[in-house]
Amino acid sequence: MLKLEGVNAFYGTIQALKNISLRVGVGDIVTIIGANGAGKTTLLKTISGVIQSPGGAIWYQGTDINHCSPAKIVSLGISQVPEGRQLFSHLTVLDNLYLGAYLYHNRKFKAEIEEKLDWIYTLFPILRKRAKQLAGTMSGGEQQMVAIARALMSRPKLLLLDEPSMGLAPLFVHEIFKVIRRLNDQGTTILLVEQNARAALQIARYGYVLETGTVALEGPSQELLADDKVRRAYLGK
């Protein structure tokens, strides 16, 4: 579904990504782990078109999307849940969810949007109860649910998740990872950036380890879990 070949990214003169190549197959959960500053968020932003790559190719379902606008990339079926959630805190939960469907928010698709909203509420029942609440007044875990739900309203085939467990209580972390697995079981392909390396590798099929903007290691998740270097650096062993 997604293939990167020789992708680079810069912040001014500082190179943040260096010849990144990776693949995500249809129906996969693939994870990217690494320390702070390794380039994980930059990589997702580059796939989403928020950061432009001056070199390499980003192929999505056979189309090179490098240099496409973020709106075009969303319309093709890629949606990102950003690090830190980045909700419209002064708007209600429902308004945040409707904004996720902005590309097809018109009368023609009104029934489909409401159907999607009902499905969202089956994933996150609490959001139905909190629909009229201002998003900024919710707990961190509830806000993360809104952020994921907002991304799902755009009908993605590929969901990019950036640190979904960051700052959450263990109960919410468990719930978020349960939803990730459920989404994948229902056909959504997932590229997951996560500092909780153990949880990420346990849920993913394949993993990449980023170090200072390069792919230092890759392989099936179970192999990475057993790798001595990964265990020492990211698993606390």
Does 222 score more than 70 pLDDT?
yes
Share of the chain above pLDDT 70, in %: 99
pLDDT at 83 over 70: yes
Specify whether the CB–CB gap between 96 and 88 falls below 8 A: yes
Domain ranges, ordered by start, for the chain: 2-77+156-234, 88-153
pLDDT at 237 (0 to 100)? 58
First to last CA, the chain: 34
**Lowest mean pLDDT: which of 75-89, 108-122, 195-209?**
108-122
Q: Give pLDDT, residue 206.
A: 98
Instruction: Supply the pLDDT for residue 119.
Output: 95
The rounded distance, in Å, linking the Cα atoms of 182 and 116 is 16
pLDDT value at residue 140: 93
Length of the chain measured in residues = 237
Residue carrying the six token digits 């997702």: 44
Residue 234 has pLDDT above 90, yes or no: no
The architecture of the domain spanning 2-77+156-234 is 3-Layer(aba) Sandwich (3.40)
Tokens of 159: 């969901």
For residues 219-231, average pLDDT: 94
Residue 17 has pLDDT above 80, yes or no: yes
Q: What is the mean pLDDT of residues 5-16?
A: 95
| pLDDT in the model for residue 55 | 83
DSSP state string for 36-105: TTSSHHHHHHHHHTSS--SSSEEEETTEE-TT--HHHHHHHTEEEE-TT----TTSBHHHHHHHHTGGG-
* pLDDT tens digits, one per residue of 92-103: 999 999 999 998
The owner of tokens 């998003």 is 135
Are the C-beta atoms of residues 164 and 52 closer than 8 Å to each other? no
Examine the pLDDT at 209 and tell me if it is beyond 70.
yes
pLDDT at position 111 is 86
**What's the average model confidence in pLDDT over 134-153?**
95
**Distance from C-alpha of 30 to C-alpha of 23, rounded to nearest angstrom:** 9
User: Once rounded to an integer, what is the mean pLDDT over residues 197-207?
Assistant: 95
The pLDDT, as a whole number, for residue 109 is 79
Percent of the chain with pLDDT over 90: 86
Q: Compute the distance between CA of residue 19 and CA of residue 7 in angstroms, rounded to an integer.
A: 5
Residue at 235: amino acid letter: L
230-236 average pLDDT score = 86
Does 104 score more than 90 pLDDT?
no
Phi, psi of 180 (to 5 degrees): -60, -45
- Measured CA to CA, the distance from residue 63 to residue 174 in angstroms comes to 35
pLDDT for 134 beyond 70: yes
Q: Is the pLDDT of residue 105 over 80?
A: no
What average pLDDT is seen over the chain?
A: 94
Give the 3-state secondary structure of residue 3: strand
Pairing of strands 14-24, 29-34: unpaired
